[in-house]
Amino acid sequence: MREVAFIKQNKEKWLNFEKAIFGKTLKNPDELASLYIHLVNDLSYAQTYYPKSKTILYLNNLAAKAFQKIYKTKREDTNRFVHFWKIEVPLIVYEYRRYVLYAFVIFLTFVGIGVLSAAYDDSFVRLILGNHYVNMTMENIEKGDPVAVYKSGSNWGSFIGITLNNLYVGILSFIYGVFGGIGTGYLLLRNGIMLGAFQFMFQKHDVLWESVRGIWIHGAMEIFAIVIEGAAGLILGASILFPKTFSRMTSFKMGMKDGVKILISTFPFTVAAGFLEGFITRYSNTMPNWLSVGIILFTLSIISFYYLIYPFILNKRLKQKYGAI
């Protein structure tokens, strides 16, 4: 069958399915599952007979969205809240896994640039972090407590202030994605360079370990969340720049919806990081190494598993249960 005839024969079915997936028409779970099977068959046929066609891209995108929708409507004995964290977000992260990778590459690249810039330019750290902060840190290093800045303020005051600021930064990183992802990229650039210069400052004064065992108690989740929020912003930007087979508005709505869900998923980690910074980090210089390292590894393991490992495990499990896309 010629591709034109194939498209003409199935176009109406695909459009109806697209409307059902994006909420324009209501379908019950069984009907959606039936349509999904037909869609997968059409995708398989197209991959076999029209391997270089854009039709494959369209059907693959539609199938991926359908996969999430069907599992969502078929969930059993699971409330909406649990489903969101356990199923919905991980599947979205899996779908946009490339953008998570892009965010990490951008961020880590500029961390490296921050380190190198600080290493070859003595004034760079002050330029990035400011004279007041650097002078205060130098005084703390001389007093034998490099991370004493985290002891300032009350526990609750620090927790609330830090958490609200980090939530604001995360939301801003996502919103800036509307500028084609450039705004989000800039924030990843700025935060990466600041982190690189910040850590080099401690390395230069031979207190890197003291800073790591203290700062990364809260920093593991805080920094990781910043990168994931950056990925959400990149998704939003890409939805505008690269609508694929969808209209630009439809693509934007999809990117906005999925990006917001990823952004929201970082909030508990951001709050947890704020709690650790307000209540735990201030005691890092008096706690044993095994405890501080244990907290760092534990928090890093939780957030890494949720965003980097669990989405792949879940996707594999659901594919085995409902059929491959």
Q: What is the pLDDT of residue 323?
A: 52
Question: Is there a single domain that holds both residue 199 and residue 112?
Answer: yes
Half-sphere exposure of 248 (CA within 13 A, CB side): 6
Domain-located, residue 107: yes
Q: Scanning the structure block, which residue is given the tokens 């459009």?
A: 15
Q: What is the pLDDT of residue 52?
A: 76
What does the pLDDT look like over 238-278, one tens digit per residue? 999 998 777 888 889 889 999 999 999 999 999 999 999 99
Instruction: Take residue 156 and report the two structure tokens written for it.
Output: 């609750």
What does the pLDDT look like over 5-28, one tens digit per residue? 888 888 887 777 777 776 655 556
Q: Specify the higher pLDDT residue, 323 or 90.
A: 90
Cβ atoms 234, 184 nearer than 8 A = yes
In sequence order, the 6+-apart residues with CB closer than 8 A to the CB of 128 are 114, 118, 193, 194, 197, 198
Q: What is the pLDDT of residue 45?
A: 80
Question: Is there a single domain that holds both residue 123 and residue 161?
Answer: yes
Domain-located, residue 123: yes
Q: What is the 3-state secondary structure (H, E, C) of 215-227?
A: HHHHHHHHHHHHH
Does 165 score more than 60 pLDDT?
A: yes
Domain-located, residue 106: yes
What does the pLDDT look like over 33-72, one tens digit per residue? 667 777 777 887 887 778 878 788 788 777 777 776 666 5
Domain-located, residue 30: yes
Count the Cβ atoms, other than its own, within 10 Å of residue 46. Answer: 22
Report d(CA 141, CA 204) in Å as an integer: 11
Handedness of CA 191, 192, 197, 199 (dihedral sign): positive
Question: Is there a single domain that holds both residue 64 and residue 102?
Answer: no
Question: Is there a single domain that holds both residue 180 and residue 250?
Answer: yes
Question: Is there a single domain that holds both residue 313 and residue 280?
Answer: yes
Report d(CA 31, CA 171) in Å as an integer: 37
Amino acid in position 296: I
Domain-located, residue 323: no
Question: Is there a single domain that holds both residue 165 and residue 246?
Answer: yes
Question: Is there a single domain that holds both residue 100 and residue 160?
Answer: yes
What does the pLDDT look like over 109-159, one tens digit per residue? 999 999 999 999 989 999 999 999 999 999 999 988 898 888 887 889 889
Q: What is the pLDDT of residue 185?
A: 96
What does the pLDDT look like over 166-212, one tens digit per residue? 999 999 999 999 999 999 999 999 999 999 999 999 999 999 999 99
Domain-located, residue 88: no
Q: Scanning the structure block, which residue is given the tokens 């998923």?
A: 265
Q: What is the pLDDT of residue 31?
A: 66
Residue-number span of the structural domain to which 47 is assigned: 3-74
Does 75 score more than 60 pLDDT?
A: no
Question: Is there a single domain that holds both residue 299 and residue 179?
Answer: yes
What does the pLDDT look like over 29-43, one tens digit per residue? 556 666 777 777 788
Mean pLDDT, the chain, integer: 87
Question: Is there a single domain that holds both residue 55 and residue 168?
Answer: no
Question: Is there a single domain that holds both residue 135 and residue 234?
Answer: yes
Helices (H) and strands (E) in the chain, counts: 14, 0
Q: What is the pLDDT of residue 78?
A: 53
Question: Is there a single domain that holds both residue 42 and residue 140?
Answer: no
Total structural domains within the chain: 2
Domain-located, residue 322: no
Domain-located, residue 16: yes
Question: Is there a single domain that holds both residue 69 and residue 185?
Answer: no
Instruction: Take residue 188 and report the two structure tokens written for it.
Output: 């990843």
Q: What is the pLDDT of residue 325?
A: 46
Amino acid in position 305: F
Q: What is the pLDDT of residue 324?
A: 47
